[in-house]
Amino acid sequence: MATGNQVLPEAAAAPERAQPRPRRGGGGRWLVWGLRVVVWVVLLLIGYRGIDAIVTGTTGSGSSPGSASTSDGGFPVALAQAYALEFGQVYLNFSPATAVTRATELAGFLPPGADPALGWNGAGTQSLQSEQVAGVTVQNAHNAVVTLLAQVNGHLIALGVPVYSAGGGLVISGEPALLPPPAQVTPPTPPAVTSDPGTQAELARQLPAFFRAFASGDKLTLGRFLASGARISGLGGAVAFSGISQLIVPAARGVIRHIEVTVLWSTPGQPTTPGKSSVASAPAQIQMTYAMTVLWHAGSWYVQSIGASAGLPGPTS
């Protein structure tokens, strides 16, 4: 029998049943929906970036190789270089006999209403021998100055060409400016080199045969003079070997030597009057200096590399 203070099990359990029970999985469901929203946002962003990259030709991570040569701050650098070169071909050539043709061609580079003569008074003659781009100064997404380096009437000049870009098009936005070419400087005097007479004598005997093969470009013959792994293709008969005028072999230890060789090449003679005479002129000769790396192996020297020398050869001692 229960006393007055005794609580029956059913009565004790009743308050617990009266408390609302949390919905099973309710919080987890909201978390799942939240994660789904985040995933959809990320997928939409990725899709948009992909479409944008296809349309604009750009990527979202850094700049691709070569992007600096085609665009700088939105300005089409590579296109402006080509455009300025084409403009220079017309602008830097003039004579009274071709004044009308020149004005017509220049009008295609200029804004409507601009002077097609671009300041030329119609007198005198100028001839362009060669030109190339020396640099581009980008001012903003629409404006830049392309600097051309040109040979005109036998003189080296620089020409600043203002170019305007908008909507994929270009125009010469103002009058070009004549600028001074790069200043001529004097390189430092090469230091005296202590030579190795014994190695120099050995190389003087072996190198003529190499240079004959190098001039002809005969792969089989040339390969006999090359060190293992060396890739040298030769000149393909553009010149003929005439001799070695200077050979500098610095004193050093080891089986690898870095040398300088001054070679005298003969170029093929050309007809004195093309189309009228088959008599060829005497072949020209020209002297050139090469930097070479040679390797001593099995009692002989082999060529590892050959290229242009960084400067005139210095005195030997």
pLDDT for position 20: 46
Q: Which domains does the chain have, with CATH numbers?
A: 71-117+125-179 (3.10.450.540), 197-272+280-308 (3.10.450.540)
Q: Do the Cβ atoms of 281 and 158 come closer than 8 Å? A: no
Q: pLDDT tens digits, residue range 8-28?
A: 344 344 444 444 444 444 555
For the chain, residues with pLDDT lower than 50 are 1-25, 51-70
pTM: 0.64
Angle (CA) 192 196 202, round 5°: 135
DSSP for 74-134?
TB-HHHHHHHHHHHHHHHT-B-GGGHHHHHHHHHTTS-TT--TTTT--S-S-B-EEEEEEE
pLDDT for position 30: 58
Structure tokens at 157: 């000049």
Contacts of 207 (CB under 8 A, 6+ apart): 244, 247, 261
AA identity, residue 100? V
pLDDT for position 314: 59
pLDDT for position 165: 97
Q: Residue 280: beta bridge partners?
A: 271
DSSP for 177-233?
EEEPPPPP--PPPPPPB-B-HHHHHHHHHHHHHHHHHHHHT-HHHHHTTBPTT----
